[in-house]
């Protein structure tokens, strides 16, 4: 069940999204937000926010149901970003399903980026004791796959990590360089920018400060979903 919700006005700057330069994003009527949806800025530089009640229970159930049968087969599919440091399993899911699309449309409203710039959604699953060690989501310019990522969509500008269930123990998303930790709660998400704006300390560039980890799950299982927003249109392969 969704209802319309007043969104915070977000102004996207020219250096990060030329197509939306200096346009305040006004929500369109057809995009609805769950009751008690809330966007809260946690840090201005690096830009980090929490989003409460981004997903409905129905959407989370659908997304998990879509991902479950795909998890095993896609275990070996790496994204080129420190995949060896991950003991969890993951898979990509099609966006066509209405319960995936409704979440993506909200995120497009929130960030001002077209869904065309969204990478194929990745669902991750951790069993008890599994974790994802500290890493950056952005593509390393010295990495083997860098050129191909740049050809298709460019850098991962924004990460939105969504929690799809309540975890009994552990499984926080931790930012060791910032001394920040977010506990997983069903329906909530953490959003951060992977690239500094030119007016931030250090100047424009990929941001080392948003190094993060999915800490060890100590009780129950953890389901999550990565939404990565690219610089340019991402062509699904």
Find where tokens 């690096």 sit: 46
161 binds ligand AKG, rule: CB under 6 A: yes
Contacts of 171 by beta carbon, 8 Å cutoff, 6+ apart: 126, 183, 184, 214, 215, 216, 217, 218, 222
Binding at 117: pick from ligand AKG, Fe ion, none (beta carbon under 5-8 Å per type): none
CB 25 within 8 A of CB 112: yes
Q: Which is nearer to Fe ion, 156 or 196 (CB)?
A: 156
Residue of minimal Cβ distance to ligand AKG: 214
Q: Report in angstroms how near the CB of residue 161 gets to ligand AKG at its nearest.
A: 5
Distance CA 91, CA 66 (A): 10
224 binds ligand AKG, rule: CB under 6 A: yes
Neighbours of 141 (CB within 10 A): 11
Q: Which is nearer to ligand AKG, 109 or 137 (CB)?
A: 137
187 binds ligand AKG, rule: CB under 6 A: no
Q: Which is nearer to ligand AKG, 34 or 184 (CB)?
A: 184
CA 88 to chain centre: 16
**Among candidate residues 181, 141, 139, the one with its CA nearest the CA of residue 161:** 181
Q: Which of 132, 139, 193, 234 binds ligand AKG (CB under 6 A)?
A: 132
Distance CA 137, CA 157 (A): 9
Q: Which of 56, 102, 117, 173 binds ligand AKG (CB under 6 A)?
A: 173
What does the block give as tokens for 198? 């030119």
Q: Which is nearer to ligand AKG, 12 or 162 (CB)?
A: 162
170 binds ligand AKG, rule: CB under 6 A: no
139 binds ligand AKG, rule: CB under 6 A: no
In the complex, the residues that contact ligand AKG under the rule CB under 6 A are 124, 132, 137, 161, 173, 212, 214, 224, 226
């Amino acid at each position: 069940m969704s209802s319309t919700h007043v969104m915070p006005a977000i102004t996207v700057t020219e250096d990060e999204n030329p197509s939306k330069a200096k346009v305040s994003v006004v929500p369109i009527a057809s995009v609805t937000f769950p009751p008690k949806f809330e966007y809260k800025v946690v840090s201005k530089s690096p830009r980090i926010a929490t989003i409460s009640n981004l997903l409905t229970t129905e959407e989370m159930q659908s997304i998990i149901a879509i991902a479950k049968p795909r998890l095993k087969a896609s275990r070996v599919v790496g994204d080129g970003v420190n995949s060896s440091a991950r003991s969890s399993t993951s898979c990509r899911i099609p966006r066509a399903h209405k319960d995936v699309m409704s979440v993506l449309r909200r995120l497009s409203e929130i960030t001002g980026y077209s869904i065309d710039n969204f990478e194929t959604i990745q669902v991750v699953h951790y069993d008890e004791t599994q974790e994802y060690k500290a890493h950056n989501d952005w593509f390393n310019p010295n990495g083997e796959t860098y050129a191909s990522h740049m050809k298709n969509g460019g850098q991962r500008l924004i990460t939105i990590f969504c929690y799809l269930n309540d975890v009994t123990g552990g499984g926080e998303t931790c930012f060791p360089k910032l001394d920040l930790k977010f506990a997983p709660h069903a329906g909530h998400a953490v959003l951060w920018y992977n690239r500094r704006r030119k007016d931030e300390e250090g100047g424009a560039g990929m941001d080392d400060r948003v190094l993060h980890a999915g800490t060890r799950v100590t009780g129950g299982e953890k389901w999550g979903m990565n939404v990565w927003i690219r610089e340019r249109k991402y062509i699904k392969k």
